[in-house]
Structure 1
């Protein structure tokens, strides 16, 4: 590779990889926020898969930055071709005196074990991946003995576990990002620059002032504040005009908080879906349903520009 090609690779290609890794790490934290237990294997798979892939990409980005010529297969370390987080960490330690955060190597070990032995366990006859829960719990128990998963956890107790995992994930993500940023500045590349509105920015930048778990909470609180504002204000401008114009469907007040809980976790409650479907059937009139869906499609459509003229006129008169 020519000098310019190496610079492009380290600056542009690795910069794209950085944003991809941030998306994976964010998804791992987001999924953890939404679970209420450790009984669903598919949920643990998503948490560990996205976490493992995101962190591995960070490790490999750094190693690509420190290589003189990343395209020289004779000088590139073998661990770059594999998927072992601990081996990657050993290689990284050759180039830095910085220390990985406490519990970091334990989490790297779980990621490596998952990625190489559990990722496709369901495809192997006589193995159903049932030990995956035990793998995850072993990390949690080893690093923080106060978690007792032998007994059913209340939802409030489970929040302590979620905070622990998400924060440990955020710490090692921030650690590797710091190594990448320092090296990129040293070799004069722009690898560390990412889209400010991306999830990667929330993982790598926002967490410099708060923990990753706090970042997840503030995002949920932002949605709650928005819903509260919409509920409390009976304005007649912009999207409020459309909200005031439409009749709402009947809902069971006792279920609203469950519906909201799923909404904050970026899910849609199954009971809510079934209820709305049943209510549409009760309406019966195909044309009315079609018109209602057309109006609903305007909510959250960025291409729709609501008329604020009346509001501006009212403000000028006052």
Structure 2
């Protein structure tokens, strides 16, 4: 295999997985946001999506533009840009990318964010002009969905309703799907396998399953109900049932369940977990060792043992 074929087949294939990881994390981050008040959460969402889409678009550009006669150095230099706007426009000259106003406006927000807003807080001029990312996303959502989100409520803040979550997912996945289809088409034309994805990876969830975090949340809820109610027996289930539960407060069940769906929710309960472990005294280390066995690789529970 020639160096350029190896590059496009394997190295860009790795890039495809990386871009899928970023897009997945961005979609999950937005899904987990209860409100749209926290600039650091908006930043996290925008950062992951902008990086993911930028890298994805660059893969498609290389597959479309690179030929045996291409000036390799010039091509590589031309990819040193963070303007998603320009990259998508460039790809459109080689491939049938058909995006609507909402998609293009999001691409512009991502471009502005990555080129300027992500470092805006390091500037003294930002002292009294914060919340730019939040204002951009909230304004885009309100305009695109023709809704008015609640602003300025000190008690409840700006809600992130399911309508917004679904719209963001749908918009990002349409952009993603069109670019991925270009990668598939070009790679097949070159008889290479850049588009192939590792099974059960985040990238596969994005590009092939078109991830819906709501469905993934249904999974953990169903598994939770199974573990609570199954009467089946196995070595693993027997091991779990022998562990004495900590004295969590049943009245806070809703907060505990949120830990399965959100990293920020876990942070809210960690202090209580640390308190319970401090009460164990000498038994804390033994319990930690027991907990590490659960879901540990290469640990087998023999039903007869």
Quick check: TM above 0.5?
yes
After superposition, what is the alpha-carbon deviation per residue over 1:240-262, rounded to whole angstroms, capped at 9, x for unaligned?
A: 11122111111111211111113
Aligned equivalents of 2:304 and 2:289: distance in 1? 23
Query: Would you say the 8 A contact 1:184–1:192 is kept in 2?
Result: yes
- The equivalent residue for 1:130 is 131
Query: Would you say the 8 A contact 2:84–2:110 is kept in 1?
Result: yes
Aligned equivalents of 2:186 and 2:133: distance in 1? 36
Q: What's the TM-score once normalised by structure 1's chain length?
A: 0.87
TM superposition shift of 1:130: 2.4
Query: Would you say the 8 A contact 1:17–1:61 is kept in 2?
Result: yes
Tell me which of 191, 196, 215 is aligned to 1:193.
196
- The equivalent residue for 2:270 is 273
- The equivalent residue for 1:313 is none
> What is the DSSP-based 3-state SS (H/G/I as helix, E as strand, rest coil) of the residue aligned with 1:202?
helix
> What is the DSSP-based 3-state SS (H/G/I as helix, E as strand, rest coil) of the residue aligned with 1:160?
helix
Aligned equivalents of 1:92 and 1:85: distance in 2? 10
- The equivalent residue for 1:35 is 33
Instruction: Determine if the alignment matches structure 1 residue 229 to structure 2 residue 226.
Output: yes
- The equivalent residue for 1:176 is 179
TM superposition shift of 1:306: 0.5
Q: Aligned pair in 2 of structure 1 residues 120, 234: CA closer, same or farther (>3 Å)?
A: same
What does residue range 74-113 of structure 1 map to in structure 2 within 5 Å? 74=74, 76=75, 80-100=79-99, 103-113=102-112
Q: Aligned pair in 2 of structure 1 residues 101, 8: CA closer, same or farther (>3 Å)?
A: farther
TM superposition shift of 1:282: 2.3
- The equivalent residue for 2:168 is 165
- The equivalent residue for 1:45 is 43
Tell me which of 275, 279, 284 is aligned to 1:289.
284
TM superposition shift of 1:283: 2.7
Q: Structure 1 unaligned runs (5+)?
A: 311-318
- The equivalent residue for 2:237 is 240
Query: Would you say the 8 A contact 2:149–2:158 is kept in 1?
Result: no
- The equivalent residue for 1:257 is 254
Aligned equivalents of 2:268 and 2:133: distance in 1? 29
Q: What's the TM-score once normalised by structure 2's chain length?
A: 0.90
> What is the DSSP-based 3-state SS (H/G/I as helix, E as strand, rest coil) of the residue aligned with 2:260?
helix
Query: Would you say the 8 A contact 2:151–2:157 is kept in 1?
Result: no
> What is the DSSP-based 3-state SS (H/G/I as helix, E as strand, rest coil) of the residue aligned with 1:73?
helix
Instruction: Determine if the alignment matches structure 1 residue 298 to structure 2 residue 296.
Output: no
Query: Would you say the 8 A contact 2:142–2:148 is kept in 1?
Result: yes
After superposition, what is the alpha-carbon deviation per residue over 1:11-48, rounded to whole angstroms, capped at 9, x for unaligned?
A: 11111100000000000001111111111111000100
Q: Aligned pair in 2 of structure 1 residues 180, 279: CA closer, same or farther (>3 Å)?
A: same
> What is the DSSP-based 3-state SS (H/G/I as helix, E as strand, rest coil) of the residue aligned with 1:9?
helix
- The equivalent residue for 2:120 is 121
TM superposition shift of 1:58: 1.0
Q: Structure 2 unaligned runs (5+)?
A: none
